[in-house]
Structure 1
C-alpha cells in the first residue's frame, strides 16, 4: 500500500488515541480519572483545565506498560457494550432490560435528599449495612469549593447519605479505584455510564476487578457540563465564589431548584428548567458527551435514572416525593434489587417502556451516535472505537433525521474546533 493510499485509509477509518495527550487534545476525555488511578499521583493528577473540564495532567514518567494499560481501559479510546445477553430483552435504545420498575427509597429522609427517589443512595446504604461490600466509591460536593465535585469513598451508610445529591459538573470518580483494589476488600462503584464502561474495561486487564467490584451502578447521563456553568450561576446571583457555603445542583425533593447559599445563610434559587434547560448553556457540554454511544449505562448491573413525574407527557418540576426508574441489566443487578427490597430499603411500582420513552426521549439521540463517530473518521479525526452497541438497530431506530443531525452537528463542531482541548 502506497503512502497516499495509507493516508486515505487512515482518514476514512479514523485514528484512535496513542496517549493521554491525544485523548485530551482531541476532545475524547471524559475526565473519569482512571488513568490517574493506574499511574498514581506522582505520574498523573486531575484538575480543571481552561475549558472548565476535569482533565489529567501528566506529571512524571510512566513505568513500562502503563501507557498501554491506560489506553486499553480509557473510554476516550474505546467503549464496549454488553452486546446481546441471552434470555434478556434487548431494546435498541435502552439496551439489555431484565426488569424495569419505578423505584424509591423506603426511608423518607433518603428519598428527600437523594437524587430523584434516592434509589442509588438506598442501594449504596444497603450494600454497606448488609456487609456485601466494605466501601462505596462515588462522588460528592467538595467541602472547600461546593460548586466542584470530588471522588469519595463511603464506608458507612451514613457517609453514603451525606454524599447524596445530583452532581452535574466535572469530576473524576475513578481516581481511587486502585487504592481500593489494593486494600483487597469488596467495594461497589456508583458513577456515570462512561465510568462504568471504563471499570468493565479494567476488568479485562486487571484480574482483581471481578472479585473485588461485585456491583456497578449508574444513572442515565445527559452529559457533563463544564465548571463555567456553576461560575455563571454564581455571577447571575452576584455571589463571590469564595463566599459560597453550599452549591446544590438540585433541591431536596422533586426535583427542586438549583441553590447557591452563602456563608451568612443567604440562599439564591433557580428553578430546575431555568438552570439546566437553557439553550445558552448547551455549548458548555464537553465534546466527548456529544458523541457518546452510551448515556444509559448498558455496562452497569443497574441503571437508575430519574423517574420523571409526567403531566400531559411533559415533566413536572413541582416539589413532590421523587421516584427513579430501575433498569436491571445483569444477574447481579437483579439479585441486589430483590435483596434490597426484601430488606426494606426500596419500594417498587410498575413502569412501562412507553413511560420510559417519554421520560427520557432526549436519550434517543444515542441511537445515532455511530453517525457522529463516522463523521470524525471521514474528517481524519481521532475517534473512539465502539463494540457491542447494536449499531444497525440503533441507526434504524434513530431515523434519517436524527442520523443527519448527529453527522452534521459533529462536522460543525470539529470545524469550530470544539474538539480541541488543553490539558491542565
Structure 2
C-alpha cells in the first residue's frame, strides 16, 4: 500500500447517490473530464431486468454517475474489453477484484492492455451471490419480475436500503446489513469466493471499500454521510488520486490499517483458504493448483479457530452435497 485515506466525492449529490462515499464514481468522472481516458468500463443495473447487472461503457460524467451504487449480484463487465481494445483509445476499468486480475493476466499475452488501460480500479469484494437471491427478494415482497422498475442494493444514503420499486410506484425496502447478508433468502457464497485471494484488490491501481465508522472496534451501519477508504497500490493510482484531490473531485482524511481491518473482518476468513483446499483433497474432491498464495502468512493470521472453521466447513459442505446428489 502506497497511500491510504478515508475518502468521499467532493460533489454532495454524487456522494449521496453512491453506495458509500462515491469515490469510484468520482474517480471515473475525473478520468473522463481530465482527458486521461476516453471511456470508463464498468457496470450498472440492467435496463430490462433491473435486478440483474450489465456491462456498460461510459464516455461522459453523467453516464458514469448512472452506474453508481453497488451491484451485489453476478456481473460480467469484461464482455466489452476486446471491443474497447479494438477502438485503440485509452480507457479505465472499474470492476470486481477478480475482473482486474483477469485483465492483468490478459496483459501478459496482449500488449495493448498496457498501452490502452492505464487505470484499473476496484472495490473490496466479500463474494458474489447468484441471481436467485434477487428473485427471492422479489418473491419476499410479492413483486412480479415484470413489474420491477428499480432494484437498488445500496445508495441514496449510506448505506441506504435494498429497494425494489414497481412500475406503479410502490416501494419495498430492506435494511442494511440484514438485506446484504440475505440470510432468510438462502444466501450462500460460491466456493470460489470463499477461497478467493483477490477480495481486497491487491492487483488494482486503487481499491476502494466502505469506510465504516467504528464504535468500540466494530463498524456501525447507521445512516451517515457516505465514506470510503481509498487504498493506493501503484504509482499510476497515486498520480490519479493526487489529481482527483487537486481538482476537488475527492476529499480525503486520515485512516489507519488497523481501522480498515476492523471495518472489513469478513476478509480474515479467507486467510485459511489453504485449509479448505486440504480438506477437499482429503475428501477425494477436485481442487486447484495455486502459486503465490502466501499460505503460511494466511494460516498464521487465521489462527487455529479460523483454520478449523474452514476445514470443518468444507468437509460439511462436501458431505451435504453428496447426500443431496444421492437423494436426487
Q: Decide: shared fold, TM above 0.5.
A: yes
Q: What are the equivalent positions in structure 2 for 1:325-344 lying under 5 Å apart?
A: 325-344=229-248
Cα pair distance change 1:281/1:353, threshold 3 Å: farther
Question: Is it true that 1:177 corresponds to 2:81 in the alignment?
Answer: yes
Aligned residues: 324
1:123 pairs, out of 27, 46, 51, with 27
Tell me the residue number matched to 2:176. Answer: 272
Q: Which has the higher helix share?
A: 2
What CA distance in whole angstroms lies between the structure 1 residues aligned with 2:68 and 2:154? 11
Cα pair distance change 1:125/1:386, threshold 3 Å: farther
What CA distance in whole angstroms lies between the structure 2 residues aligned with 1:183 and 1:378? 49
What CA distance in whole angstroms lies between the structure 2 residues aligned with 1:159 and 1:217? 17
Q: What are the equivalent positions in structure 2 for 1:393-404 lying under 5 Å apart?
A: 393-404=297-308
What CA distance in whole angstroms lies between the structure 2 residues aligned with 1:380 and 1:253? 48
2:208 pairs, out of 288, 304, 311, with 304
Q: Which stretch has the larger CA shift, 406-415 or 122-131? A: 406-415
Tell me the residue number matched to 1:412. Answer: 316
What CA distance in whole angstroms lies between the structure 2 residues aligned with 1:363 and 1:191? 18
TM-score in terms of structure 1 length: 0.73
Question: Is it true that 1:232 corresponds to 2:116 in the alignment?
Answer: no
1:249 pairs, out of 153, 158, 182, with 153
Q: CA deviation at 1:283?
A: 4.3
Q: What are the equivalent positions in structure 2 for 1:3-402 lying under 5 Å apart?
A: 97-281=1-185, 283-402=187-306
Specify the SS of the correspondent of 1:217: strand
Specify the SS of the correspondent of 1:251: coil
Contact 2:19 2:68 (8 Å CA) reproduced: yes
Contact 1:293 1:386 (8 Å CA) reproduced: no
Q: CA deviation at 1:158?
A: 0.9
Contact 1:251 1:259 (8 Å CA) reproduced: no
Contact 1:294 1:366 (8 Å CA) reproduced: no
Q: CA deviation at 1:284?
A: 3.0
Gap regions ≥5 residues in structure 2: none
Cα pair distance change 1:283/1:162, threshold 3 Å: closer
Q: CA deviation at 1:186?
A: 0.8
Contact 2:133 2:186 (8 Å CA) reproduced: no
What CA distance in whole angstroms lies between the structure 2 residues aligned with 1:383 and 1:189? 30
Task: Kindly report the root-mean-square deviation, in angstroms, between the aligned alpha carbons of the 2 structures.
Answer: 1.8
Bigger relative contact order, structure 1 or 2, given CA contacts below 8 A and separation 6+? 1
TM-score in terms of structure 2 length: 0.94
Specify the SS of the correspondent of 1:272: coil
Gap regions ≥5 residues in structure 1: 1-96
Cα pair distance change 1:398/1:413, threshold 3 Å: same
